[in-house]
A and B are shown apart, each in its own frame.
Chain A
Amino acid sequence: MRIFVQLVLVLSLTLLATASFAESEAMKVLERMGVAAKQLSYEGVFAYQTGKNLQSIRIIHRADEQGEVERLVSLNGSAREVIRTNDLVTCIFPEGKRVHVNRRPLGRGFPSDLLRRLDSATPYYEVVMGQDGRVADRQAAELIIKPIDSYRYGFRLWVDKKSDLLLKSELLAENGNVLETFAFSMIELNKTIPDSLLQPQISGKEMTWNRTEPETGINMATKQNVSKWQIAWLPEGFSLVAQQNRLKANNGASVEQRVYSDGLSSVSIFIEKIRARHSHLHGGSTMGAVNAFGTILSAHFVTVVGEVPAKTVEKVGASISYKGDSEQ
């Protein structure tokens, strides 16, 4: 009997160690993926599918001593573009003759701070290696990321075995349905990217330019006025990771953005003082896998946006209240 107990104990420890090693290995792949996204230069075409909609998008990413520049161009329909540099995000919408220019938040990395956040994500997701596969004619390792509850989505990621670049990503609902798929169909790595490939196809002439700027120091001094908000509920593990105030140049409205994240999933809460706008979202709205919930509180548009389930943005939105002068 004693031998049997010892045998069970040894087997249990072995299984635990194996599972731990697998998760550790998966986390290492995830970390290398974050580094590759920042350090590689590449050009490719990927498909973005959500519901019945399929888009082909060309992506050009250059990383060098100057930093990073990235350009995405829609290959179907109108040639919409997004150009990201170290400090600016420029969105070009030819059909509406509009250009949106947003200054990137101060101190942010590019393209994201995934690496910094990974550690905090581990208690809320199970990250394991899946089966090897082939994406865009390259061998890829599969990562399966399962959330601990239904307030966040799961992921399946395919990472290039040679370069560690993310080649394919699926966002998964609680029932396992695929909500969004991003997948390279063609990619060239480590190629020299000339400046011309990073220039927009459309000149700025005849376009309406909308700029969003961080508030000045003086305006930030009044930040107290828009910070008197309380968020009573967030999914377990979500904490405040960023906060910024912006001025929308087209109507002068001050917009406060608070970002809460568990490390892998995130929601942004936008609080915008009502100026001359007339309508706002009341309740939920969806675009692909991104959900939004809007309401009006104390003459402010309050909106929760995130790539999380609808019930999450709704519950977060319903828990927001204005504390007024009582909170200090």
Chain B
Amino acid sequence: MTANHTELLSALVDGELQGQELDKALQLLNNNELTREQLQRYQFASDVLHGNTRDNQRIDLSASVAQALDEEPVYSDKTKEKVNKASVIVLPKQFWQQAAGLAMAASIGALAVVGVVSQPQNQLVPIRTVANEVPVETTTVATTGNRWTVGEAEVADRLNTYLVDHNEYAGASDVFSYARVVSYEAGQ
């Protein structure tokens, strides 16, 4: 593997590739097993550096497991409600989890989550799908209330973080604006 290839992979992990460079990186990944292994190492290093490995976070996984079980068709019929949620772009988790999965393996709870949601772990998906060809779970908006009309807690969490930042610039009722944050029905 040349220094140029190494640099290309590094930029790919950082999401900085566009156009021809991205195509070149993808072609390299498709044709070269060593490159794929190198990419996994880079991604893992990046995740560790940025604190994305699950075992670095003090998380009570029981809630996640319970939620995943709850949403599994085998265990309940709540999945019918998904048609009432806003659309969510589901990126190829297996790409990101390939490396993070190594760290997650240390946690039985984490393995349980992976098992329940049945994510394939042995496939490397070209990053191009991240930008252009992401599979989309198309659903519609449900009723409004004190929570975001999205199906995934991860997306709702991100929107909440944005809402807190946006509140700094709220309109005429700004005295009350943070009421939206304290009223959020996170548990539902």
Contacts and interface: CB of A to CB of B under 8 A. Distances in A.
Whether A associates with B in a native complex is yes
Name the prevailing secondary structure of the A interface residues: strand
A303 B159 CA distance: 8
Given A80-B184, A250-B51, A46 B179 contact: yes
A287 interface: yes
Interface centre among B57, B163, B172 (most CB of A within 10 A): B172
Contacts of B149: 285-287
Interface in B133-159: 134, 136, 141, 143-150, 152, 154-155, 158-159
A288 B146 contact: yes
Contacts of B14: 273
Contacts of B90: 278-279
Interface stretch (A2-10, A12-20, A263-271): A263-271
A72 B174 CA distance: 13
Contacts of A252: 49-52
A62 interface: no
Chain A residues touching B, range:
35 or more
Contact of A57 (B47, B168, B179): B179
B1 interface: no
Nearest to A267: B166
Nearest to A288: B180
A274 B162 contact: no
B169 A241 contact: yes
Contact of A37 (B146, B175, B182): B175
Interface centre among A50, A73, A300 (most CB of B within 10 A): A50
Given A57-B179, A279-B90, A303-B162, A287 B186 contact: no
B164 interface: yes
Contacts of B147: 287
Nearest to B140: A283
A33 B146 CA distance: 27
Interface string A243-283: 00010111111000101010011101010111111111111
B101 to A, nearest CB: 12
A305 B178 contact: no
B176 A268 contact: no
Across chains A and B, which 6 residue pairs bring their CB atoms closest together, nearest first?
A252-B50, A169-B173, A182-B176, A112-B174, A282-B89, A268-B166
Interface of B: 14-16, 18, 46-47, 49-52, 57-60, 86-93, 96-97, 100, 127, 130-131, 134, 136, 141, 143-150, 152, 154-155, 158-159, 161-187
17 contacts: A51-B144, A95-B186, A112-B177, A157-B172, A169-B173, A252-B51, A270-B162, A274-B91, A275-B50, A276-B52, A277-B158, A279-B88, A285-B86, A285-B149, A287-B144, A288-B144, A301-B158
